[in-house]
Chain A
Amino acid sequence: DAGVTQSPTHLIKTRGQQVTLRCSPKSGHDTVSWYQQALGQGPQFIFQYYEEEERQRGNFPDRFSGHQFPNYSSELNVNALLLGDSALYLCASSLAGGFTDTQYFGPGTRLTVL
C-alpha cells in the first residue's frame, strides 16, 4: 500500500523565485491538504484540494497556489519567495466521506530560501 509521497526532498531557492512542490496521495485517497511547518512549530494549514477544486484555505497569501490533477496528485506553487517561506512543506491525504477525517502525511519537502 503506497503511502503519501512528495518531491523533491530538499530545495534551495533565492528570494523572488518561484517554486513548485509535488505530492501523490496515499492509495485510495482523493483529498490532498498542504501544510507549512516552520522550525520548532506545528504544521499550519495552507489549503485543501478535492475534486480538483480548492475546498478550504488557511491564512496564507495569494502567492501560495495549488492544483489537483485527475489522478488526485497535487502541486503547491509559491511565487515571489520570501526568506520567511523557508520551512518544511507537508502534504497530507485523506478520503472524503470516510469514517474519520484522519489525514496521513508525507515526508515533506524542505524549502530553503536564501
Chain B
Amino acid sequence: GESVGLHLPTLSVQEGDNSIINCAYSNSASDYFIWYKQESGKGPQFIIDIRSNMDKRQGQRVTVLLNKTVKHLSLQIAATQPGDSAVYFCAEPYGNKLVFGAGTILRVKS
C-alpha cells in the first residue's frame, strides 16, 4: 500500500545547530518527493523537492538527500533558527494526490 512515514515525531535542536529530519517511503516506483513546512495555524509551505534521478538537492539552508536503495529521504536544515520551528512533512504523489507522512515537530531552543 501507499505509505510515507517519519522516524522521529519530535526533534529538539539548539539554535545554530543543524537539523536532520528523516522520512521513509514504501513505493519503489515513486519518482518525486516533496518537503513541506507547516507552522502553527497555517497551511503547508513548499520547501524543496527532489526527483528520483537525483541523490541530493540543495536550497537556501536546506538540503534533501534521497537514498533509493533503502527508500529513505532526509531534510537537512543548516544553522537552525527559531523561525524554523514547525511541523515538517514529506509527501509523495500518487496519481494526482499527495500522500503525507505523520510529520516531525521541530523545536528550536534559543
Contact = CB atoms under 8 A, between A and B. Distances in A.
Contact residues of B: prevailing secondary structure? strand
Contacts of B78: none
Interface in B89-110: 89, 91, 93, 95-103
Contacts of B18: none
Query: In this complex, which of B32, B36, B97 has the most chain A Cβ atoms within 10 angstroms of its Cβ?
Result: B97
A101 B32 CA distance: 8
Interface residues of B, number: 22
A48 B44 contact: no
Interface size class of A (residues with CB under 8 A): 20 to 34
A107 B43 contact: yes
Contact of B102 (A31, A42, A45, A106): A42
A108 interface: yes
Given A41-B102, A42-B102, A105 B97 contact: no
Contacts of B49: 100, 102
B65 to A, nearest CB: 19
Contacts of B42: 107-108
B101 A102 contact: no
Contacts of B34: 102
A104 B45 CA distance: 7
Interface of B: 32, 34, 36, 41-46, 49, 89, 91, 93, 95-103
Interface of A: 4, 31, 33, 35, 41-45, 48, 50, 55-56, 58, 90, 92, 100-108
Q: Ordered nearest first, which 7 A-B pairs have the shortest CB separation?
A: A42-B100, A105-B43, A45-B97, A56-B96, A105-B44, A48-B96, A101-B93
